[in-house]
Chain A
Amino acid sequence: MPADATHLWYLDRLSAHIDGELDAGEALDVGAHLATCGTCAAEYTLLLNTVESMRQHLPPLRAPNALRERVVAAIHTPILPREHTFRAARSFRPWAVAATVVAMVGAAYGIGARSSVSGAPAADAVLNAHVRSLQQGHLTDVVSSDQHTVKPWFTGKLDFSPAVPRLESEGFPLVGGRLDYVANRAVAALVYQRRAHIINVLTYPSESSVAVAPHLETRRGFQIANWSAAGMAYWVVSDLNADELRTFCSLMREAGAAP
């Protein structure tokens, strides 16, 4: 490779010359140089071959149809104001009153009250249900991404009808549902997914009509959230990160408030 400044000036411009991105004066200059300098002309040919073979072996891709459908659906879903998410996230934060919340949870949930006032055994029972569900073949009894399939499936199996919101446009596709038992009571388990993370939502009528603000905790590496609203108790458990699980919970809460 020629080392003097003139050649370097030309060599630096070969790439842009290939793309026709040099200004007219420089393009003429480089063209003239290539016609007379064998070394630079050889470099140019080599680079041109590289570019052409890259374009051949690194092709543009076509978006899968499933993605196209997801995107089109997402475009036509009403936009959630971001502020909403932030406010919900903030309401998780008052750890100072966490003890009060836990006590209220214990009072509001049959399972909590039955086992302990701290609510911890209830969280353990929920976590066990989650771990159990991840074992092969135990995740769902009804497999469907359609809430109109999942919701009726519970009819006749439970004495209540859970809200089954559709959140796939927010990146949480519904996987299905199953019947689960937590602390001696039958609960509806809704299964959602975020990437490879499974989210279990356990829900049942709460024994108290007192609404309980969301509470999020980490246990054995899983995030567990719970709250109650409109006479229903909700437990959400997943190995998803806390931020995304908060987003999921606020979406669930909004959907639950307006079924």
Chain B
Amino acid sequence: MQHVPTHLTPRVVPEPNRESFEQVVLPHLDAAYTLARYLLRDEQAAQDAVQESFLRALRHFAGYRGENARAWLLTIVRHCCATARTRRRRELTFVEFDERQHSEHVQSATPELHLVRSDTSEAFHRALDALSAHDREVLILREIEDLSYEEIALSIGAPIGTVMSRLSRARKRMQALLHRESRDAS
């Protein structure tokens, strides 16, 4: 469930039922965008990842067994975001200097979302950015996507016990970071 093995895509792609896909999966577009936007922190990269996720989901729709569609889609989004991050890192490492491209990376490294946020919201985003990738992920899935522990476990491919302890740790870490922020501010 947690792996979408694109390299195992069958040679003959069965024609998916596009109408049923649109009814079952498309309603979760906002959720998909939210996850990608928070994980990648870059508008263009997030939109690309969402589009790629829907195409991947469509290709694998035949294998979808009617379980929780949102958790199923978010699993795919999570994978696409991981791929996008790897690709971005690779480009940053190997591509020769190119002003347009590198200035884009500079922008995406600066969380431009912050510009439109209040100071308080900014503190929350900063704290979220300071978490480890694992902690940030469960926190986004729980607080922002409002998934149950079981759905999160499904999405990240980990036991519920791991979700529980990771979430508990992530929240305490957020609490400490926010506390430090407010103490530094005063």
Binding site for B on A (CB under 8 A): 12, 14-16, 19, 21, 46-47, 50-51, 53-55, 57-64, 66-68, 70-72, 74-76, 79, 81-83, 134, 171, 195-197, 221, 239, 241
Q: State whether the Cβ of B11 lies closer than 8 Å to any Cβ in chain A.
A: yes
Q: Which residues of A contact B9 (CB under 8 A)?
A: 82
B38-55 vs A: 1/0 string, CB under 8 Å? Answer: 100000110110111011
Min distance, Cβ A54 to any Cβ of chain B, angstroms: 5
How far does the alpha carbon of A19 sit from the alpha carbon of B171 in the complex, in Å? 12
Q: Name the 6 nearest CB pairs between A and B, nearest first.
A: A221-B96, A15-B168, A63-B33, A57-B124, A50-B175, A196-B104
B167 touches A15 (CB 8 A): yes
Min distance, Cβ B93 to any Cβ of chain A, angstroms: 11
Q: Which residues of A contact B31 (CB under 8 A)?
A: 60
A12 touches B101 (CB 8 A): no
29 A/B residue pairs, CB under 8 Å, sorted by A: A15-B167, A16-B168, A19-B142, A19-B167, A21-B164, A46-B175, A50-B175, A50-B178, A51-B171, A53-B124, A55-B144, A57-B123, A57-B124, A58-B125, A58-B140, A58-B143, A58-B144, A60-B146, A61-B37, A63-B29, A74-B58, A79-B16, A81-B11, A83-B11, A195-B45, A195-B104, A221-B96, A239-B98, A241-B87
Min distance, Cβ B146 to any Cβ of chain A, angstroms: 8
Q: State whether the Cβ of B69 lies closer than 8 Å to any Cβ in chain A.
A: no
How far does the alpha carbon of A74 sit from the alpha carbon of B96 in the complex, in Å? 32
Q: State whether the Cβ of B22 lies closer than 8 Å to any Cβ in chain A.
A: yes
Q: With A50-B171, A62-B33, A66-B47 given, can you name 4 additional A-B contacts, CB distance below 8 Å? A: A12-B168, A14-B168, A57-B120, A68-B29
B30 touches A79 (CB 8 A): no
Q: Given that A58-B144, A61-B34, A74-B51 are contacting pairs, would A12 and B165 also be in contact in the complex, using a CB cutoff of 8 Å? A: yes
How far does the alpha carbon of A68 sit from the alpha carbon of B15 in the complex, in Å? 22
Min distance, Cβ A161 to any Cβ of chain B, angstroms: 30
Q: State whether the Cβ of B186 lies closer than 8 Å to any Cβ in chain A.
A: no
How far does the alpha carbon of A64 sit from the alpha carbon of B46 in the complex, in Å? 11
B1-15 vs A: 1/0 string, CB under 8 Å? Answer: 000001001011101
Q: Which residues of A contact B16 (CB under 8 A)?
A: 79
A195 touches B22 (CB 8 A): no
B164 touches A15 (CB 8 A): yes
Q: Given that A60-B144, A79-B13, A221-B95 are contacting pairs, would A196 and B51 also be in contact in the complex, using a CB cutoff of 8 Å? A: no
B54 touches A71 (CB 8 A): yes
Q: Which residues of B contact A53 (CB under 8 A)?
A: 124, 178
Min distance, Cβ B80 to any Cβ of chain A, angstroms: 12
B101 touches A197 (CB 8 A): yes
Q: State whether the Cβ of B148 lies closer than 8 Å to any Cβ in chain A.
A: yes
How far does the alpha carbon of A239 sit from the alpha carbon of B124 in the complex, in Å? 36
A55 touches B143 (CB 8 A): yes
B91 touches A241 (CB 8 A): yes
B101 touches A15 (CB 8 A): no
Q: State whether the Cβ of B121 lies closer than 8 Å to any Cβ in chain A.
A: yes
A241 touches B95 (CB 8 A): yes
Min distance, Cβ A52 to any Cβ of chain B, angstroms: 10
B117-160 vs A: 1/0 string, CB under 8 Å? Answer: 00011011100100000000001101111101100000000000
